Amino acid sequence: MNIEKLKANKSFGGETAFYQHDSEITQTKMNFSVYMPPGNSPDGCLIWLSGLTCNEENFITKAGAQQYLSENNMMVICPDTSPRGLDLPEEHGSWDFGSGAGFYVNATTEGYKQHYKMFDYISKEIITVLTDNFKIDNTKISISGHSMGGHGALILGLTLPTQFASISAFSPIVNPINCPWGQKAFAGYLSDKSEYAQYDACELIKSNHKHPNPILIDQGQADEFLEKELLTDNFTKCCSDNNQALIVNYRDGYDHSYYFISSFINSHLAFHKKYWG
């Protein structure tokens, strides 16, 4: 695929860089950032999916992951959270729908269905970028994310368990059909309610989707969205009922911010690397 490097900064001996490419799937330009460790030959790559209002910049500037990635020869790629440069109905009117809020589904509603296909964008084009442009071994690609991106990591990893070596998430939306953010997004992106379950991590587990490795979740107990939007316990129950191995680390006093993510990101990176053989 033809990708254009827009900006690069040396960092911890490797390179933090921003790219753009023409996406066949979203029919727009798409942006992503990467950290490439020294030597340009990483052991594998973590795909990081960001949350509502974020873009390809948040994780790479605020998570403080580069030192660990450098020292452990790991790459990370951070796709943007939606197509950009469009002007669809309702696309720019609210922070929890449309631009910056793609929710990692393949939209089926009019207007959105031509562009907002973030599930396919991540699972097809980003994978192609990694294997073709960055020469990453297809069996050494893991997935993680934050909030809406944690939801994305869970549904992508559970739907495609042979594509993603391991799954983790910070503060994920685990049950979007039962929370306001998810209900709003699904109503806007999906034309029929029968499509909802395939994009809901709890429903996926209930319908016997599994990942062979344990799923790792970190969740702050002072997270202002825990009770109404994130619903972590629902996922714990589904996994327990259906024999999906799950590790949930509740973190006392931590909130929904990147200050929380940066505090524990190294443990997630170590978790994923373990599954790259």
Q: Does 67 bind its own copies (CB under 8 A)?
A: yes
Q: Does 64 bind its own copies (CB under 8 A)?
A: yes
Q: Does 1 bind its own copies (CB under 8 A)?
A: no
Closest separation in Å from C-beta 64 to its own copies: 3
Q: Does 55 bind its own copies (CB under 8 A)?
A: no
Buried b (16+ CB within 10 A) or exposed e, 80-94: bbbbbebebeebeee
Stretch that binds its own copies, among 106-114, 137-145, 200-208, 251-259 (CB under 8 A): 251-259
Q: Does 16 bind its own copies (CB under 8 A)?
A: yes
Q: Which residue pairs from 193-199 have beta carbons closer than 8 angstroms and sit at least 24 positions apart in sequence?
A: 195/108, 198/155, 198/159, 199/103, 199/104, 199/105, 199/119, 199/155
List, by residue number, the catalytic residues: 147, 223, 256
Tokens of 237: 């129950």
Q: Which residues contact 25 (CB under 8 A, 6 or more apart)?
A: 117, 120, 121, 124, 125
- Of positions 62, 124, 184, 210, contacts its own copies by CB under 8 A: 62
Shorter beta-carbon distance to its own copies: residue 63 or 107: 63
Beta bridge partners of 79: 32
Stretch that binds its own copies, among 10-18, 180-188, 210-218, 268-276 (CB under 8 A): 10-18
Q: Does 10 bind its own copies (CB under 8 A)?
A: yes
Query: Amino acid identity, residue 174?
Result: V
